[in-house]
């Protein structure tokens, strides 16, 4: 099964994807994590990606598509995959369709998350990530703080704030999303695979609620 996570930065895509991975057993694959790992290691791809990401811009399609195409060949995603952060443009979506068609597969569900902008900004600025790449648990120092400040509850590793998790960059990333990525909503709606869910404190409907509902519907 192929599931795609859509939504502006800070809507909780990574959180919901991780919950779905735990319940369904499909591997969560985040292009953002792949890029950040390369940035941390100082690879050529990392330097190239950082030149865009640090400004709140998208990494060029050809670079991203090649990374995802290679990842789709690996054995741990043959039964199912949850793509978080890809595709981000219609061109990427069309390329993904072509890649999957050659493997006799297709996108089964696109989960589109929406959240009010002011809530996104507050959420992102307060976000902390486990520095252990095998864990990567996400916390929020306001809504979902760790038991011990700065330390991951699950593995004990240090929590860090992403360099791009600041108000100026998140506003730029939201604007970029609305311009370049939101057309994907129409693209997948026309294919009949789009499912839109609001994730917001104001309606008391959070990521865990969405994940539980999706798992229940898939297992019907």
Catalytic residues: 13, 88, 127, 162, 173
Question: Rounded to the nearest 5°, which phi and psi values hold at 199?
Answer: -115, 105
Strands 138-140 and 109-114, how do they pair? unpaired
List, as one string, the DSSP characters of 79-129.
Answer: S-EEEES---SHHHHHHHHHHHHHTT----EEEEEE--HHHHHHHHHTEEE
Q: Other CB atoms closer than 10 Å to residue 85's CB: what's the count?
A: 23
Contact 110, 188 (CB under 8 A): yes
């Amino acid at each position: 099964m192929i599931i795609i996570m859509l939504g502006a930065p800070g809507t909780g895509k990574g959180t919901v994807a991780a919950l779905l991975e735990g319940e369904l057993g499909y591997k969560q694959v985040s292009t953002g994590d792949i890029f950040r790992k390369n940035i941390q290691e100082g690879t050529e791809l990392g330097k190239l990606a950082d030149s865009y990401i640090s400004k709140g811009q998208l990494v060029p399609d050809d670079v991203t598509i090649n990374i995802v195409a290679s990842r789709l060949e690996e054995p741990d995603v043959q039964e199912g995959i949850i793509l978080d952060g890809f595709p981000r443009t219609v061109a990427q979506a069309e390329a993904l369709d072509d890649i999957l068609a050659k493997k006799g597969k297709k996108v089964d569900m696109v989960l589109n998350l929406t959240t009010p902008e002011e809530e996104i900004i507050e959420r992102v600025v307060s976000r902390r990530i486990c520095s252990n790449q095998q864990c990567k648990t996400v916390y929020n120092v306001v809504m979902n703080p760790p038991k011990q400040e700065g330390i991951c509850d699950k593995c004990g590793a240090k929590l860090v704030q992403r360099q791009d998790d600041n108000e100026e960059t998140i506003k730029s990333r939201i604007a970029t999303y609305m311009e370049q990525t939101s057309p994907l909503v129409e693209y997948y709606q026309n294919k009949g695979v789009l499912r839109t869910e609001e994730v917001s404190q104001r309606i008391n409907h959070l990521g865990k609620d969405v994940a539980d509902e999706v798992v229940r519907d898939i297992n019907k």
